[in-house]
A and B are shown apart, each in its own frame.
Chain A
Amino acid sequence: MAFFFDLFVNGLMIGSMYALVALGFVLIYKATSVVNFAQGELVMFGGYIAAALLVLYKLPLAVALPVLLGSMIALGFIVERGVLRPMVGQNVISVVMVTVGLAQVFQGAAALLWGAQTKNIPLPIPLEPYVIWEIYLSPVNIAAAVVSGVFMVTFVWFFRKSRMGIAMRATANDQQAAMAVGINVRMVFALSWAIAGLAAALGGVLWGNLIGVDTQLALVGLKVFPAVILGGLDSVPGALVGGLIIGAVESVAAGYVDPYVGGGTKDFLPYVLMILALMVRPYGFFGREIIERV
């Protein structure tokens, strides 16, 4: 039983990192109806910048972190302004293709700027695991869960209570009405991308620290799809729950099944879940039901 809980708890912590990346994806989809296939690449880019700042330029973490967050927010703004805004009003497939192209541009640019070999992100976190009730908790996972958790709680508060957050939800609900009450819809779009950039920056540091920074890091973006499909494409709590489920399921499954099949369970089970979810509940656990008054 301890083995199960060990897998489960560590899986949840990994899941919180998926949730972080998924949050950025959901936010962009909700506010701007853009399915962003470059979310993973955004994370990768964040990881690259972090590695570059810490290893290449040898900046202390306290300096590197604000620079990283600032540049990823700026990157979000630039992408929205320069690439997505001209696409407003085009059909869905064109917009999707633009984000796919964007993903490749990020891949290429990162390799071009900082090289393709794997880099480490050194974080001042001890390696020695804590043992609580026979469960081995690695400090890196704990740190990741804490950072993701804090970010998400802050975000949810912002989204529910702040003036800008309410404006974002209003825009997601009815764009024209949002304009009619004076909400600056372009500002909302830009802000969604900026927050997605911020989430990607944190995701990049955490994931980069865990698995190393190279272009493969973008693959974490692929795990976002099962997470958001499970939770509901347009639901912020859905992103959180979906991420946690995917993290826990892949960890537990890998622990029990991998010894028999020789590995790989982690990579396919989330997608099996996604396909099942699409068959049973295509709008996800928390996806938006259309309100109709009769």
Chain B
Amino acid sequence: MVSDAPRPLLSVSNIEVIYDHVILVLKGVSLTVPEGGIVALLGANGAGKSTTLKAISGLLRTERGEVTKGAIEFRGRAIHRRNPSEVVKHGIVQVMEGRHVFEHLTVEENLLTGAYTRHNGQSTKKDLDVVYHYFPRLTERRGFKAGYVSGGEQQMVAIGRALMARPTLMLLDEPSMGLAPMLVTEIFEIVARLNRAEGVAVLLAEQNATMALQVARHGYVMENGRIVLDGDAKAISENEDIKEFYLGLTGVGQRKSYRDVKHYRRRKRWLS
């Protein structure tokens, strides 16, 4: 196969995911993440964003889900049949929705678990310093049980923990969930900095489209287990439909009437 574009870091081609052998959740999803890029995966609740990320990280299998068609390739190697721990060794780490810190471990122990796949004690120490550099707040919290630190700090622990694996690609699932707007901004800034300084590529699943499209270069929009739109982040944020459905914007100064809302419904069905 010859193509002029450089090979993407991650390519998901036409995957279908079935839960419990019967429930079809993803119906042919394709996307790519370039080396060192940030890609946003947008969509409403239940659109299939998390499932897509879990298909990539291999966590799907812990929830009785299965990739039944299509392929996921990371640097040209098929990874959709690997278990999560192998996927992490390949360089992909998922930061799960809802943070999932180890509440009973201290903040620092949480970070240390992230280095599990790499055995080197020396570099672990250095990586801890890197994490504390990006999340200075965690330095003061290092001895606290992670269950007792604030939500924003837990999100930082979750991202820092993933960083400890020295990933080439980070799958971030709803990092903004349940956080105050200020914190959301802070976390997105750190993600952008990580991407710039450490070269970590990011696939970002978000409902907060405004925020996600600010840091991402490319975006995909999912609905009902399908990708319905994709393009440059800027182009997406200027797309009229996206503005209406996801960014909550209509023409300046106009107020929405219920008739318009009903109208959205129809158009949205058409869109998917």
* Chain A residues within 8 Å of B, Cβ to Cβ: 163, 166-167, 169-170, 172-185, 288, 291, 293
Contacts and interface: CB of A to CB of B under 8 A. Distances in A.
Given A169-B105, A293-B150, 17 more contacts: A163-B119, A167-B113, A174-B101, A177-B100, A178-B102, A179-B85, A180-B59, A180-B93, A181-B116, A182-B87, A182-B88, A183-B116, A185-B85, A291-B104, A291-B145, A291-B148, A293-B147
B114 interface: yes
A182 B84 contact: yes
Contact of B102 (A169, A179, A185): A169
Given A178-B113, A293-B147, A173 B93 contact: no
A176 B100 contact: yes
A185 to B, nearest CB: 8
Contacts of A185: 85
B199 interface: no
A291 B103 contact: yes
Contacts of B147: 291, 293
Contact of A163 (B83, B102, B105, B116): B116
B122 interface: no
Contacts of B59: 176, 179-180
A174 B84 contact: no
B109 A183 contact: no
Given A181-B162, A293-B151, A176 B96 contact: yes
B57 interface: yes
A163, A166, A167, A180: most-surrounded residue (chain B CB, <10 A): A180
B11 to A, nearest CB: 22
B105 A170 contact: yes
Nearest to A164: B116
Given A166-B105, A293-B147, A182 B100 contact: no
7 contacts: A166-B113, A169-B105, A175-B62, A177-B101, A178-B102, A180-B88, A293-B148
B161 interface: yes
Interface string B81-119: 001110111000111100011111100011011111101
B62 A182 contact: no
Chief secondary structure at chain A's binding surface:
helix
A137 to B, nearest CB: 38
B25 interface: no
B247 to A, nearest CB: 30
Interface string B116-140: 1101000000000000000000000
Interface in B208-233: none
A288 B102 CA distance: 13
B26 interface: no
Given A169-B104, A291-B147, A182 B112 contact: no
B17 interface: no
Given A163-B119, A170-B102, A293-B151, A179 B109 contact: no
A37 B181 CA distance: 51
Interface in B176-235: none
Given A288-B104, A291-B145, A177 B96 contact: yes
B89 A182 contact: yes
A170 B59 CA distance: 16
B102 A173 contact: yes
B236 interface: no
Contacts of B55: none
B102 A184 contact: no
B165 interface: yes
Nearest to A291: B147
Interface in B43-58: 57-58
Contacts of B89: 182
A86 B226 CA distance: 35
Contacts of A169: 102, 104-105, 109
B103 A184 contact: no
